[in-house]
Amino acid sequence: MEPVAVVGWYAETWKGEVRSCRLEEVVFHAARGALGEAGMSRDDIDGIVLACHDELDGRFISSMLTSAPSGALLKDEVRVTDSSLHAVVVGSMRVQSGFFKTVLAVSWSVSSGTPLHEVQLTTLDPFVERPVGAIDRVATALHANAYVWRFGVSVDELDARAKAKWAEAGVDPSLADLETFVSTPLRRGHFAPLVDGVAAVVLVSSSVLECRGFRRPPIWIKGLAWGIDSYALDRRALGEWTVLRKVTGDALARARLRLGDLEFVEVDDASVIHEALSVEAIGVAPAGKGLSCVGRPSGVPRVQLGTNGFRGYPLFCSGLWRLVQVLDQMADGSLPGTGLVHGTYGRAGQGHVALVLSREANVRDDS
Amino acid sequence: MSREAQDESLVIEETWNLRYRYSSGPVTGYFLRSLAEGRIMGRRCPGCRVVWLPPRAYCERCFIPTVEWVPVGPEGVIEACTIVNFKIPNLPDPPYAIAICRLDGADTGLLNFLDVRIDDIETVMTRLRPGARVRVKFRQNRSARITDFCFELVE
Amino acid sequence: MTRKVRGAIIGVGETPYRTHLEKNYVELAQEAALAALDMAGLRPDDVDAVVFSMAPTGFVGITDAERWAVDAIGAVGKPFIRVHTGGATGGSATQVGWVHVASGMYDVVLVVGADKVSETPDTQFILNLIWDPFYERGFGLNTITMAALQAVRRMELYGTTEREMAEVVVRSWRKAMRNPRAHLKGNLTVDEVLSSPYVSWPLRRYDCCPRSSGAAAIVIASERVVSELKVPAAWINGCGAVSNGVFLGDRMGPRCLTEYGEWDELRLAAQHAYAQAGIKDPRFEVDVAEIYAPFSIHEIMGVEALGFCDAGEGGRLIAEGYFDFGGELVTNPSGGTLCSNPIGVTGLVRVCDAALQVMGRAGDYQVPGARVAVATAAGGSSQFQTCVVLGSEPV
């Protein structure tokens, strides 16, 4: 695929109970923020892609209210609803098509006022799933249950990884609740704490870069891929995320890179199990070793050293938020030049998106 | 569709009662509190000078923050209106009128109930037309909600 | 801008539009998907990527119902994106499906959706929930009252009459009699329409679309695949889309940028699509228009916004039968949205019916010699508009 440049970005998260804000206003700030970073105005944008979720926002056709605040007044704007990273996917395809030169992708997650479990119950089909109620955390626990049994993983390993993430997040690990079960074998402290958040990125084609400069050097999306697994849990391989394996392969192939070319990997860590299954599926940890092959300073590639959802995980827009954290760190050099960013969505890893990023646009000669 | 297919099919009944808490943000919050005080406040863009009602914290056209509160009304003009003639849950029994009115001093229209006696829909609609003058009528008991006021015709 | 890869619709699948008690949501989606693949001569394994068209899942009562549908439509393990722009969803999904091909990344894309709007009696209540909780929800604003407010503006601007609106209904129902899938159809008279009760003045019961359930699907293929398969194709020659702000009151008054009583958003989207398709004068170059018009007033607004006649002329021309079968430009030969409205998919149904015309496969509602067709979709507070131009030849 043709590389797509990211020239501006913005993200913020906050605790809903601490700051009350109108959704449209935070969306405006994110859109303005990303445009400002790029040194662009609303007039420079050809298209906007929004990613948001009606029931989490508490309003059907949520983009009705957020279209104008995201800068889309009388512009081409489309909205996707499964994953915040889908906004980057659709935005990138638009740029690659040649019909759009600049696209702004925006996503948010203001779910602190939302009855989350009730909403998640409504995602279950009413005939065979809803009465049993295996919503996301419960489904994650089913994966975890299969995983620990298949690979002989002990509870201590789950706890150790959780404690490391809480410590890195600046929370005293002894205060993390590793006693109360959410759904066995997972306890409260194994899950990232939820916060509200918003994120936005500006995508441009390489032809735009030939005509004008931006405030800072672009970061390139060299490859991206996405995919979805079966809805029913029994039809997925429990304890592993096979769709992510394929998605990773496709993203690397599009970037004309190999797994060994990756210098860093940042994955979705909604829970320690999400993190473990992701790094194993991507191939940077052997099966069953995902909990211990993360966060090691001397690891090659560096896995999960740049972002940490346990500092606060903005549910729906966590993928785009993670991307922005990575872009920031690639821009200031704290993350190396080529890596993979991942996000998952849906019930316990039903869907996945992976992006291969690089500071260089050029393709390697030996591919 | 075969009878057999329909006979085999089951129906499961369910009612959702999802409760949400919506945050207003300071701009909408100020607007609603002003209603409780008997004032309608628009918000002006420093760039294009449009007075937005309902107020916006940012101008959608210039894409910059708005900064200035502007009192508007108490009179204005109907831009569009209709008499609703069917029952919607949580809303009044029909028939009732709603209208988008542009209050004096504001550049955009605001939606609210229009208090008018409705004996015969078609007759009333000859009086409720775009361009007709209206005034704001505040309710006795106000609670910082958009329904603290309604419109009525200036006869 | 250089066009990289051209794409065409090579398969169309539609279920009948009615209440559908005999199938569940995913079964409906599957029916349309398989029908579209069948027409294209392809199997589910041939599909590279899927775009799912679905507006609020509140109607169906299953949040994110598209994720439940993954298995039934053969999408397991594949790239899968759901698009949701309210009523415009099907048009937006088509454009997102097209960009998968236009980007050069995929060769065969399935765009599919389903809606079971009849699963709940609370449709209008749900449609009340799309409005801002602080400023608009409390007023009974929903799609019917929203359209009524447009009609009121039109009457003031152009003297549009209730009789002109009734003519739209009568002609749509008559056209729908040729469409075996249409929900509502028959020989209505203008007097019958004008004596039905007001729902929200000036809209009467017959001026409003039904609550339909059903599914639709298209298969979009790259030009390489089209030339390999040698099947009839509806080339996607132009795509335009425009979004407006949500507040209706912003589109009224001397300082408005767009007028609520017109479909300026559609006018802009269509101009964009026409430019890509090389269409200079739509009233002579377009043969068929499937206009997303859930209320009678909308077809009047649509023919004007699409440039088929001058401003204010739409009502009169429709009433004179100018856009009926036998004319130079036929609107909604399928009966349109007024006769079938499976909300989350309706925009896609418009594309399906427009594609069938250009492919010569519209059966009893075929417009003879149709070579250029337009399909539109509208959503939100009439604020999202999409326009797709299809042709029997690529541009």
Q: Are A226 and A86 in contact (CB under 8 A)?
A: yes
pLDDT tens per residue across span B15-28 = 777 777 777 888 88
Model confidence band, residue A363 (pLDDT cutoffs 50, 70, 90): low
Place of tokens 């009789």: C163
Contacts of C384 (CB under 8 A, 6+ apart): A64, A67, A77, C85, C86, C87, C88, C92, C241, C242, C243, C244, C265, C377, C378
Q: Is A101 on the interface with C (CB under 8 A)?
A: yes
Place of tokens 């704290």: A334
Beta bridge partners, C112, equal: C52, C217
pLDDT tens per residue across span A48-99 = 999 999 999 888 898 999 999 999 999 999 999 999 999 999 999 999 999 9
For chain C, the C-alpha Rg in angstroms (whole number) is 19
Considering only the beta carbons, identify the residue of A86, A235, A350 that sits closest to C67. A350
Beta bridge partners, A201, equal: A9, A105
Contacts of B27 in chain A (CB under 8 A): 22, 25
Residues of chain C below pLDDT 70: 1-3, 21
Contacts of B22 in chain C (CB under 8 A): 133-134
Q: Are C297 and C315 in contact (CB under 8 A)?
A: no
The CATH architecture of the domain made up of C7-119+212-220 is 3-Layer(aba) Sandwich (3.40)
Pick from A2-11, A87-96, A250-259, B116-125: least confident:
B116-125
Q: Is residue B19 part of a domain?
A: no
Residue C368: phi and psi, rounded to 5, are -60, 135
pLDDT of residue B13: 76
Q: Is residue B143 part of a domain?
A: yes
Pick among C30, C63, C127 to test the A interface (most A CBs inside 10 A) = C63
Q: Which residue has the higher pLDDT, C299 or B89?
A: C299
pLDDT of residue C372: 98
Q: Do C64 and A123 touch (CB under 8 A)?
A: yes
Question: How close A56 gets to chain B, by Cα (Å)?
Answer: 9
Q: Do C255 and B50 touch (CB under 8 A)?
A: yes
Contacts of C248 in chain B (CB under 8 A): 80, 100, 109, 111
Q: Do C139 and B111 touch (CB under 8 A)?
A: yes
Q: Do C132 and A350 touch (CB under 8 A)?
A: no
Model confidence band, residue A353 (pLDDT cutoffs 50, 70, 90): very high
Residues spanned by the domain of B131: 25-153
Q: Is residue B88 part of a domain?
A: yes
Q: Is residue B9 part of a domain?
A: no
> Least CA distance to A54: which residue of chain C?
C56
Q: Do A74 and C244 touch (CB under 8 A)?
A: yes
Model confidence band, residue A367 (pLDDT cutoffs 50, 70, 90): very low
In the stretch 150-209 of chain C, residues with CB closer than 8 A to chain A read none
Q: Which residue has the higher pLDDT, A21 or A271?
A: A271
Q: Is A225 on the interface with C (CB under 8 A)?
A: yes
Pick among C116, C149, C150 to test the B interface (most B CBs inside 10 A) = C149
In the stretch 2-61 of chain C, residues with CB closer than 8 A to chain A read 2-5, 24, 55-58, 61
pTM above 0.90, yes or no: yes
Number of domains present in the structure of chain B: 1
Model confidence band, residue B82 (pLDDT cutoffs 50, 70, 90): confident
Torsion of CA B105, B109, B113, B117, to 10 degrees: 80
Residue A365 has pLDDT above 50, yes or no: no
Residue A193 has pLDDT above 90, yes or no: yes
Q: Do B18 and A119 touch (CB under 8 A)?
A: yes
CA angle A237, A238, A239 (to 5 degrees): 110
Pick among B23, B48, B59 to test the A interface (most A CBs inside 10 A) = B23
pLDDT of residue A274: 97
Contacts of B121 in chain C (CB under 8 A): 198, 201
Question: How close B154 gets to chain C, by Cα (Å)?
Answer: 19
Question: How close B47 gets to chain A, by Cα (Å)?
Answer: 14
Question: How close C351 gets to chain B, by Cα (Å)?
Answer: 25
pLDDT of residue A366: 45
